[in-house]
Amino acid sequence: MTIGEISDTLVWGAATAYTIAMIAFAIDLSRVSDAVGRRNADRRTEAALAVGAGAPAARPARAERQSPVVARAGTGRRTTPLGIAMATMWAGALIHLGAVVLRGVAAGRVPWANMYEFWLTGTFVAVAVFLVIQLRLDVRFLGVLVSFLVVTFLMVSITSLHVVADGVQPALNSYWLVIHVGVAVGATGVFTIAFAVSALQLLRDSRDGGSTLLHGEGTVVRGRTVAAWRWLDWKFLDAIPNPVALEALSFRINAVGFVLWTFTIIGGAIWADGAWGRPWGWDPKEVWSFVVWVVYAAYLHARTTRGWSGRRAAYFVLAGYACVLFNFTAVNILFEGLHSYADVPDRPGI
């Protein structure tokens, strides 16, 4: 078995570990949401008894659903499924790191010179960002979505984008491959975590706002009982921080990603000037990289100076991440340009 094949085997191992972590995270979140539901029911019962005894009425039910802000690491809950989830997440990250390193050894260069390697490394960065944040803040509620995204991207890359480890074309044989593309990989991993936070923010905000689509069967919402066919129970949303806390967390993560993306564009311009004699030429990859920068710049500007918050800010984040995915997938496959270097099976890639 070659070093490249060992790397591929480790990718499958990492995906397996992340899948186990995803299931364990889901079980833990389900148990916590049940506990939150029972606590809220007890509070409503106590409030009803107090009112019957002549005491003042309790606060509205909506306030009961407002979870605390994101807690600091070490102050959160402890359950067996959560312990399994975090252990397998760390194990998957170590296996994943081994796959990345061995891919680089097999190719004799940094492991991010084609689409497969970009997603292999980018997913590792996303997991690393999640685990690093977890060391300071209790963000384990992100575990299900983060592990799902990572497993999905890994499976698509290993099954559809995989190419044999090899050298690069002379045009890519530069230290700027390490700097420019490396920073782009890092930014993409950071944006992935911010996307997960904003997605949960939108779901939580919709549930708090009384959306009948995000309540389980038989739940009374706005005086109506949710239809029987809406079988999916979204109680786990009651166990995550409130939308305000999630938005603040997303903003901080996106600010880091934006700085990295800015360096990505600057580094690309410097490399292009040395390689092609011009820093900017409106190549498809350059155009979409600029589109990504504009969307995130607009998001940060609107939120800090225009007071955009809540759902509007979250939609901005989702739009920005959609542009990131389009830039590193569809642009690489659909458009021909000066950045058509990295390999895609049966077709030259980015």
- What is the per-residue DSSP string for 7-18? HHHHHHHHHHHH
Q: Return the ∠ at Cα 305 (arms to 302 and 311), rounded to 5°.
A: 40
The neighbouring-strand residues paired with 347 are 344
Q: How far is Cα 43 from Cα 64, in angstroms, rounded to an integer?
A: 9
Q: Return the ∠ at Cα 95 (arms to 92 and 97), rounded to 5°.
A: 105
What is the enclosing helix (H) or strand (E) of 123? helix 115-134
Is the four-CA dihedral 291, 292, 294, 298 of positive or negative sign? positive
Q: Collapse the DSSP code of 224 into the 3-class scheme (helix H, G, I; strand E, B; otherwise coil) and give the result.
A: strand
pLDDT at 281: 83
Q: What are 97-151's pLDDT values in tens digits? A: 999 999 999 999 999 988 999 999 999 999 999 999 999 999 999 999 999 999 9
pLDDT at 148: 97
pLDDT under 70: residue ranges of the chain: 33-77, 210-234, 337-350
Phi, psi dihedral angles at 59 (to 5 degrees): -70, 160
Maximum alpha-carbon separation in the chain: 83
Q: How far is Cα 322 from Cα 292, in angstroms, rounded to an integer?
A: 9
pLDDT at 225: 46
Q: What is the DSSP string of 268-302?
A: HHHHHHHHHS-S----HHHHHHHHHHHHHHHHHHH
CA proximity to 26, closest of 74, 98, 63, 79: 79
